[in-house]
Amino acid sequence: MGSGPSSNNSSSSGGIPNELYKQAREEFDIRFATPAIFTLVYRDFQLIRPLGRGAFGSVKEVKCIHDPLPDYLQSNDNSSKSHRIALKIINKKSAHKMKQEDHVVNEKRILQSLNFPFIIRFYFSFKDNANLYIGLELIEGGELFRHLRDCEKFDEKKAKFYASQIILALEYLHFLGIVYRDLKVKKYYH
């Protein structure tokens, strides 16, 4: 893990007070050092629809049907959306074959330790003999790439909006000493 920005005591280079960075770092370190334990199993979920596939797993929209609903899945607004989740399913055998076990474990521990508005929220994880499951916040609307592809280019206001969110998320991760290695950029030629 990194040590964060080295600037004066009042604020970092981006104008955010160092106290906020220090607090975020302390919270991250505590959550990273003490991984939470969850008592869910795959049959606690009802499949709604597939969302995507990756190198050694898939992501599905699921609904938690565990009764009672675990407190970490309940929202303050009492909406029915509080238990719809993006469930990332990682096949252990595939991850092992590709020598990615350490990366998978690190991804889970980092996700459960993050707390930032522009980064998907981690809810829980559990495993069985074949898979590792990671429950993440379900974000309606799809990937940024799809929206860009649909309109070919963003107007300036929308581009600034999305770019600022990405920059803030990357700044937060870099402050914590995390280098995000899976950012995909596509060039368009006209």
Quick check: 78 and 72 in contact, CB under 8 A?
no
Separation CA 24–CA 177 (nearest Å) = 12
Active site residue 44: no
CA 10 to chain centre: 30
Catalytic residue among 67, 77, 102, 182: 182
Torsion angles phi and psi, residue 145, rounded to 5: -55, -40
Write down how long the chain is: 190
Structure tokens at 158: 């929308």
Separation CA 67–CA 15 (nearest Å) = 46
What Å distances lie between residue 172 and 2, 69, 85, CA to CA? 12, 31, 24
Catalytic residue IDs = 182
